[in-house]
Structure 1
Amino acid sequence: MGIGATAGVAAVGGIALNAQASSDRSSGQAASASDALVFDPDAYTRLTTSVTGTDGSTHSVTYHFWKALTYVADPVDEKYQSLNVSVPVEIDGTAVDASDAPILFANSVGGYMPSSVADATGIGGGGMGGGMPGGGAPSGAPSASASAPGANGNTNATGGALSTNQLLALAAGYVVVEPGARGRTLENSAGEYYGTAPAAIVDLKAAVRYVRFNKGRIPGDTDRIVSAGTSAGGALSALLGASGDSPLYEKYLSELGAADASDAIFATGAWCPITDLEHADGAYEWNWGANAAQSTGKVVDQTVSKELRAQFAEYQAALRLRGLNGFGPLTARNYDAYLLEQYLQPSATRYLAALSDSDRAAYLAKNTFITWKNGRASFAWDDYLTHVGARKKTTPAFDAFDLSAGENNEFGAGTTESRHFTAYSAENDTTGLSTRRIAADIPEKLRLMNPMYHLVEKVNGRRSKHWWIRLGASDTDTSHVVSANLAAAAAGLGDKVNHLYYWDKGHGANDDPGDFIAWIAKVTGHKARK
C-alpha cells in the first residue's frame, strides 16, 4: 500500500507517483469534539501528484486532501477510527468538478489486522501500511493470509493493488475515501483485545455513515459509494456491500456514536476475499486437499481433510446456489466442472490469447496439460491442481486446532487472544481447553462477519446490487469456491456480477485496475472524464 506522497518518484503496481507536497493552502482546523461528525470543507491541504495510467500515459492531478478525520463521536481508538478524503480539482491543467463524482471507498485492511491513516501524507500514503503490489504471490504465515508487517502493524500483502485503484480513480475524477479500522491484534493496558470481530466491519460502516451524513459537505455523490478491498479487506468490502443498513450492527454503531445516516453502499469491489470463515476450512480442503503443504512438502492429514470435505458438501447443498450462465445447481460433485467452465479455462484462454505466437508456443510446450484448440484452452481439474502446486495452508486452514491461525485471533474476546469458531475445531482442540464447545457469542459474531448470511440466509434488500470480484487462479490462501459462491449468491438475487480469475496469479493480484475504474463509471452512470 505504501505509495507515499513525498518528494521523489515511486513506482508501485504500475503506478508512478511524484507527490509534490505543494501545500500552498491549508485552511481550517480539526473539528472540536462537539461537532466531530461535521466535515469541514475548508480544512484541506492542496497536493499535486503524477499518475501513470494503464496505457502508459502520465497525468498531473491536483487534489484537496483531508487527513485523519475521526468518523465517530465516541471513538475507541482515533488512530484507527479515522479516514482520509481526496478530491481532484485539476487534471492535466483543467479544472475538475467532483461534486457529483462516484466515491471510491478503499480500505487497506490485511489479515484482519488494524489499518490506520493517521500517518498518511497523501492518497495511498504511508499510513495505509505496506506490502507487495498487485500481482504478487506473497509469502507468510498461514494466518489470516497476512505477510510481513508494514507500517502501523498493517499486514496487507496487496496494498499496491489498492493504491493502484485509488490513484487511477483520482485521475479519473473520482473522490477517494480511505478509511482506517480497528483490527484483531489491538490490545489495551488491561490486556483486552478491542479490535476483534466485529470491530472492523462496524468501523467501516461507521465511516460510510460519516460520508453519507456529510452529503453536500464532502464532495462526491454519496449515493454512489463503491467499496474496494483485498484479502481480509476484500472480505470486509463484500460484507459492507451485502449488509447495508442491517439492524444487526445498530447497537455496535450506537456505542461508537456513529452518524445518523445509512451505511449502504452502491457497488462492491472485492479481490480474493477471505470470507465465509465458518465454512472456509471445508471449502479449502475440497479445493486443495490433495495438494502438499508448502511448509512440509507433504500431503496434510487426509482423515481431517476428508471430514472437512464432507462438511463442505453438506453446506454447499444447503446453499441451493445455481451457477452463472445457466450452469445449474452447484454441488460438491460438480463444482470442479463449474470452476473449469466458468473461470479457469476462460482465464487461461485470455492469458494465452494475449501472448505472441512464439510466447504462446513456449508456454504450451512447458505446460503440456493444456490443450489449445481453436483459440481456446482446456484441461482437466487434477492437472490444474498439479500445475498450481503446493497449498499455502495446513489443515484446518482457518480454525486451527492449536488456535494458531489469525482467524482464531479475529474471534478472540476480552483478554482471550484466540478462540475457536467452528464446532469441529473446538472438538478437536489441541491446546487443552476445559470445554470443547464454541463460546455462546460466536454464532452472532459469525453472522456479523459473513456476507453469505445477508445474501442467502436472511436476504438484505439494502445490499449492493453491483459486484466486482477477482481472484488469482493460483491463489491457495483461500478456496476458489468462496468467491464463486459469493458471486453465485449475488447473481441469484438478480445483482450484476463481474467476476473472473487471473491466470497463474497468486493472492492479491489486480491485473485489470483500469477496467475496474471504467466499471465504476458504467455502473454508477458517471460520465467519464475525456
Structure 2
Amino acid sequence: MGIGATAGVAAAGGFALSANASGKSAAKSSDALVFDKDGYTELTTTITDADGHDKEVVYHFWKAITYVTNPVDEKYQSLKVSVPVKIDGKAVDATDAPIVFANSVGGYMPSSVADATGVGGGMTGAPTGGASGSATPSASASSSSGTGEVQSGGNAMLNGQGEMVNLGKLGLAAGYVVVEPGARGRTLTDSDGNYYGTAPAAIVDLKAAVRYVRANKGVIPGDTDRIVSTGTSAGGALSSLLGASGDSRVYDSYLKELGAAEASDAIFATGAWCPITDLEHADGAYEWNWGTNVTQSTGKAVDQAVSKELRSQFAEYQASLRLRGLNGFGPLTARNYDEYMVKQYLEPSATKYLTDLSDSDRASYLAANTFITWSGGRATFSWADFLTHVGARKKTTPAFDAFDLSTGENNEFGKDKTQARHFTAYSLKNDTTGATGKRLESDIPEKLNLMNPMYHLKEHNPSRSKHWWIRLGTKDSDTSLTISANLAAAVADLGDDVNHLYYWDEGHGSNIDPADFITWIAKVTGYKKRATK
C-alpha cells in the first residue's frame, strides 16, 4: 500500500521504522503522532490585520510538536499550531477553518520552531536585507558554511511601506488555524561533518508535517482538507513544490525512513512569493532575463560568451515545456517571452501602480521615468527599456550553479561530507575548483526531480494543488521573471485556478497585497466568513 494512498486516517503507528541518521531506531508507538488537543497554552496578542486594523486575538498555542516518529533532528522536525478562540471579544469556532501552513524557510537554510513562544515568532535566526530591499535572501545570496545556522524567511516579507508582513499572524487574525513547520536545511552537519539537511530534506520534512496534520483529522482544529501553504523565496519554491507534488510516491522511501504519518501530503491551495525554483534550468532563464545588465558587485556586464551559451540552453528548455501563455497568448518561446512578459504582466503592473498614485505623484514618477508612455490610463513600454529601468542584476553568471561551487544552491546539493556539488552538466564542464568527473553524480538527477515543481506538473500529478497564488517583484533579480511565469502557465495549462501578478518596482521578498491573499483563501476554500458566536 502506498503511503500517500490513505488520506485522512486517524494516526500513524504500528509500522516498521528504519534507523535515523544517528543509527538509533525509534520504538513503535500507536499514539506517537496523535495530536494532543488539550496540550495548549492560551495566549492573548494584538495583531494588525491585513486591512490595517488592530485586533485583540485570544488563541490556543501548541509549541514544538515533533511531526515524525523517527526524527533526524527534532529541533527542526517539529511544528507549532495556533488556533483563534476569541477575536475582539467575540468567540471564534475554528473547527472547520482553513489551515494556513506557513513555512519560514529562506535560502534553503534550516528553520526551527523549537523556541517559539507564540504565533509568527520565535524563529531562530533573522531575515537579511539586500540591495533590492529584500526581506529574504535566495540561497545563492546566503552563506553556505556548514555551521547549522538558521534562516527565517518564508514568513518574513515586506509590504509596500517597508513593513514586515507575517501571514501566520494575518491568518490567525482572520480566524484561520495556523500551522508553522520547521524543516532541516542545507547548512546542517552532524558531529562527523556529514550534511543532513541538503536536498531533498526540506521538502520531505514539510511533506511529513502536512501528513501529521492530515493524519489528525477531527482531532487537530481546522479543516485538514483545506490546507493552504505559504512561503517566500526558497520557502516559496518549497510551497510550490508541496502544491505540485502532493502524494507523489517518489518521496515514499524518505518519508517512511522518518516515520511520517500514513496520510496524504496533498495540500488544497498554494501561496508562493518569488519562488527560487526550477534550479537546473535557472541559470539559462536568468541569463535570458538579465544577461545584458551589469552586476551590482562589479558594475560590469558578465561574461557574454557564457551568458549567450546559457541563453541558448533556456531556449531549448522553454521549447521542450510546450507551455501556452495565459489569456490565449499561444506557445511560449524564448523569442516571444519578452512580448508576453510585457503585455501579460509588466504593463498591467505598471498601470496599476500608476493608477493608484495621486495625480501629482503620478506626474512626478512619469517625469522621472520617461521610458513609460502613459495614455488613456494605461502604461506602455518596451522590454529593453524595462531592463534598463531595473538596472543592475544581483547575481553573476552562472547565477545558481556557480563554476566555483560558491552558491547556496551548490550547497543545497551537497552530500555526506561534501559541502557543495554541481547540479548541471554545463557548470561541471566549466568547473574552476578542480572537481573531477565528467558526469554529474548519479544521485543528482533524482534529487533535481524531487526539488522541482515543474517535474511534477509535467507528469500531470492528479493530487496537486488546484489553486495557486504566485507573486514576484518586477525588480527582483534574485531569479528570472520567467520562473514564476512558467509555473503559472504550467498550472493554467492543466486547468488549475491561478492568480499571478508582479509587483511594480518591488524587490525580492515583497508582499504588497496580503489582504487580498487572506480574502483569496476564504474564496477558494469556501470559508466565506469567520464563524462567531
Identify whether the pair has TM-score above 0.5, normalized to the shorter chain.
Answer: yes
3-state SS of the aligned residue for 2:302? Answer: coil
C-alpha distance in structure 2 between counterparts of 1:322 and 1:136, whole Å? 31
- Aligned residue type for 2:241: L
Code of the aligned partner of 2:474:
A
Match of 1:379 in 2: 381
1:486 corresponds to: 487
In 1: Cα distance, 2:325 partner to 2:525 partner: 26
Deviations 1:336-362 (A, max 9, x none): 000001111100011000000000000
- Equivalent in the alignment of 1:130: 126
Matches within 5 A, 1:191-210: 191-210=193-212
Instruction: Provide the C-alpha distance between the structure 2 equivalents of 1:287 and 1:125, rounded to a whole number of angstroms.
Output: 36
Superposed CA deviations along residues 144-166 of structure 1, whole A, max 9, x for unmatched, are 344899x9833345643285211
Does structure 2 conserve the Cα–Cα contact (< 8 Å) formed by 1:300 and 1:394? Answer: yes
SS in 2 for 1:352: helix
- In the alignment, which residue of structure 1 is the partner of 2:414? 412
Which amino acid in structure 2 is aligned with residue 517 of structure 1?
Answer: I
> 1:98·1:175 contact (CA, 8 Å) conserved in 2?
yes
CA distance in 2, matches of 1:135, 1:433: 32
Aligned to 2:281: 279
Q: In the alignment, is the contact (CA less than 8 A) between 2:274 and 2:509 conserved in 1?
A: yes
Quick check: 1:136–1:508 contact (8 Å CA) kept in 2?
no
Amino acid of the residue matched to residue 187 of structure 1? T
Q: Does 1:216 align with 2:212?
A: no
Q: Aligned equivalents of 2:281 and 2:148: distance in 1?
A: 31
* TM-score with structure 2 setting the length: 0.90
Instruction: Report the secondary structure of 1:126's partner residue.
Output: coil
Question: For residues 137 and 171 of structure 2, what CA distance do their matches in structure 1 show?
Answer: 32
Count of matched residue pairs: 498
Report what 1:78 is aligned to: 74
Distance change in 2, residues 1:46/1:136 (3 Å): farther
1:236 counterpart letter in structure 2: L
Structure 2: give runs of 5+ residues left out of the alignment: 1-27, 158-163
Q: Distance in 2 between matches of 1:246 and 1:128?
A: 31
1:168 counterpart (158, 167, 170): 170
Output the amino acid matched with 2:297: S
Residue 58 of structure 1 deviates from its aligned partner by 1.2
Give the residue type in structure 2 aligned to 1:92.
D
Contact 2:136 2:509 in 1 (8 A): no
Q: Which amino acid aligns with 1:254?
A: K
Q: CA deviation at 1:141?
A: 8.0
Equivalent residues of 2:171, 2:178 under 8 A apart: yes
Task: Report the Cα offset of residue 289 of structure 1.
Answer: 0.2
Counterparts of 2:144 and 2:504, CA distance in 1: 25
Q: Structure 1 residues 412 and 215, CA, compared in 2 at 3 Å: closer, same or farther?
A: same
2:502 equivalent in structure 1: 501
Unpaired runs of 5+ residues, structure 1, are 1-31
SS state at 2:288 partner: helix
CA deviation profile, 1:148-192 (whole Å, cap 9, x unmatched): 99x983334564328521111101110000000000000001111
CA shift for structure 1 position 527: 1.9
Q: What secondary structure sits across from 1:127 in the alignment?
A: coil
Q: Does 1:181 align with 2:183?
A: yes
Amino acid at match of 2:529: A
Q: Which whole-Å CA distance do the structure 1 matches of 2:36 and 2:153 have between them? A: 33
Task: Write the distance in 1 (CA, Å) between the matches of 2:441 and 2:241.
Answer: 23
Conserved in 1, the CA contact under 8 Å of 2:355 and 2:377?
yes
Conserved in 1, the CA contact under 8 Å of 2:198 and 2:414?
Answer: yes
Decide whether aligned partners of structure 1 residues 299 and 407 sit closer, same or farther in structure 2, where only a CA change above 3 A counts.
same
User: 1:515, 1:259 → 2: CA distance?
Assistant: 33
What's the offset of the Cα at 1:139? 8.7
TM-superposed deviation, 1:137: 2.0
> Any conservation in 2 of the 1:37–1:73 contact (CA below 8 Å)?
yes
Q: Which has the higher contact order (CA 8 A, sep 6+)?
A: 2
Judging changes above 3 Å, is the alpha-carbon distance between structure 1 residues 317 and 246 closer, same or farther for their aligned structure 2 residues? same
Distance change in 2, residues 1:392/1:194 (3 Å): same
- SS of the residue 1:454 aligns to: helix
Distance 1:49 1:143 in 2: 33
Which amino acid is the alignment partner of residue 276 of structure 1?
D
Structure-to-structure mapping, 1:286-435, within 5 angstroms: 286-435=288-437
Give, in whole Å, the separation in 2 of the partners of 1:143 and 1:221. 33
In structure 2, what is the Cα distance between the partners aligned to 1:314 and 1:484?
17
Distance in 2 (alpha carbons) for counterparts of 1:214 and 1:288: 46
> 2:530, 2:515 → 1: CA distance?
13
**Aligned partner (choices 88, 95, 101) of residue 92 of structure 1:** 88
Name 1:526's counterpart in structure 2.
527
CA distance in 2, matches of 1:528, 1:462: 27
Q: Spell out, residue by residue over 1:174-219, the C-alpha distance to the aligned partner (whole angstroms, 9 max, x if none).
A: 0000000000000001111000000000000000000000111110
Change in CA separation of 1:513 and 1:99 when aligned onto 2, cut-off 3 Å: same
Contact 1:143–1:404 under 8 Å retained in 2:
no
Instruction: Tell me the distance in 2 between the aligned counterparts of 1:510 and 1:298.
Output: 30
- 1:136 deviates by 6.5
Report the alpha carbon displacement of residue 520 of structure 1 after superposing the two structures with TM.
Answer: 0.3
Shift of 1:529: 2.4
Corresponding residue SS for 2:123: helix
SS of the aligned residue for 1:332 comes to coil
1:45 aligned partner: 41
